[in-house]
Amino acid sequence: MEELKKEIISGEKKPGDRLPSENQLSEVYHISRHTVRKALSILEQEGYIEAEHGRGTFVSRKAGRKKGSGNIAVITTYLSDYIFPRLIQGIDQVLTENGYSIIIKNTGNSRLKESRCLEEILEKDVDGLIIEPSKSEILCGHRGLYDKLDFYKIPYVFIQGYYAQMKSKLHIRLDDCMGGYLVTKYLLDLGHEHILGIFKADDSQGRDRHKGFVKALQERGFSYDPDMVIWYHTEDRSAKPSEALKIMLEEKIPVDGIVCYNDQIAFEIIKTIQKEGISVPEDISVTGYDNSFIAENGMVKLTTIAHPQERLGAMAAELLLEKIHEIPDEESRVERVLKPVLVIRESCKDRRKNQ
């Protein structure tokens, strides 16, 4: 079944091609006709082949179906979080101008829900897909669904991350390593010596922001201390960062600056610090990431990294349209990267005067 699938996906067997008979396949693979029949049944259920009574079994002609439905699917991890409305706005503006409609799905950053969304998309008539992968730091366990997109010749673009084993696929992202580096370097430049990092463990953005955090510390001659990093997962994002910080503060572990994974985490961290009777930024400086409305309108105006959500969405839509219309890319780049910008506000204090 897997070998036949590879031949179909690679194009070696084309839509409409007749497959060898059950007897022929049985001889080639040295297996029983019952086993052959079972393999073919799986391929038919997954849409790779179609049986015609009295004629035989053929590679599905759906792979050669006409384009031009005018529908683009967009799958994000969340819809309500502060990033995604602006991201979708950028996508929508470009696609609407080009006569396309959007089908929006969200996964809640769940692998299972992502699989279901992809299955639904494969059943619909769409010309392309823009997708933010769920828990992108974890190996993709449903690669077969992406293989089916390739088989049906539905182009797709990853946004804000990608799966490690699919790095060769089109993707657009912010340079999160540089972003993590910029906020950490800023705290170091202000004289902070005990910097805590809080990062998300199950997506590639968290990994890359942590890389930038480590790079800035090492450049300044600070040794990396894993005890000065709090890792959390999607499922415990509302509790673990604040609870872990509270324990550190109660144990009197020196902390004079905190690099947070995003503005939402920074907002919760500031509340935790203030509940402990500690002041931001007088006692502890805090940085965010994303330059959201929280950063501008929170209890303390956050120093953060500007996240060009609308531009990111627009670039993803433009790239997808290039692939739909088969416009050649002179540079043949599968990756487009936007550079981050540091936005300085009031959540960090210059500590050099005290040294």
316-342, pLDDT tens digit by residue?
999 999 999 888 765 557 889 999 999
User: Are both 2-64 and 176-307+342-354 of the same fold?
Assistant: no
Q: Cβ distance 131 to 159 under 8 Å? A: yes
Cβ of 221: how many Cβ atoms within 10 Å?
7
Partners of 102 in the beta sheet? 72
Decide: helix, strand or coil at residue 341. Answer: strand
Alpha-carbon span 157 to 170, nearest angstrom: 5
pTM (predicted TM-score): 0.83
Structural tokens at position 188: 């170091």
Tell me whether residue 91 is exposed, middle or buried, using C-beta atoms within 10 angstroms of its C-beta: 0 to 12, 13 to 18, 19 or more: buried
Query: Does domain 176-307+342-354 correspond to CATH entry 3.40.50.2300?
Result: yes
pLDDT of residue 81: 66
**Residue 333 φ then ψ, to 5°:** -85, 135
Q: How distant, in Å, are the alpha carbons of 87, 127, 131, 208, 262 from that of 177?
A: 20, 33, 21, 4, 13
Alpha-carbon span 128 to 149, nearest angstrom: 9
Q: What share of the chain is helix, strand, coil (3-state, %, to 5)?
A: 45, 15, 40
Domain covering 2-64, topology: Arc Repressor Mutant, subunit A (1.10.10)
pLDDT of residue 8: 83
Pairing state of beta strands 49-52 and 56-59?
antiparallel
Boundaries of every domain in the chain: 2-64, 71-174+309-339, 176-307+342-354
- DSSP at 191: T
| Amino acid at site 304 | T
Residue with tokens 């990092």: 197
Query: Would you write out the chain's pLDDT as a tens digit for each of its 355 residues?
Result: 989 988 887 778 888 899 999 999 999 999 999 999 999 999 988 888 999 888 999 998 765 555 678 999 999 998 876 778 889 999 999 999 999 999 999 999 999 999 999 988 887 889 999 999 999 999 998 998 898 898 888 999 999 999 999 999 999 999 999 999 999 999 999 999 999 999 999 999 999 999 999 999 999 999 999 999 999 999 999 999 999 999 999 999 999 999 999 999 999 999 999 999 999 999 999 999 999 989 999 889 999 999 899 999 999 999 999 999 888 765 557 889 999 999 999 999 999 975 5
Domain covering 71-174+309-339, topology: Rossmann fold (3.40.50)
pLDDT of residue 62: 67
Residue with tokens 């050649």: 328
Closest CA to 63 of 46, 75, 79, 80: 46
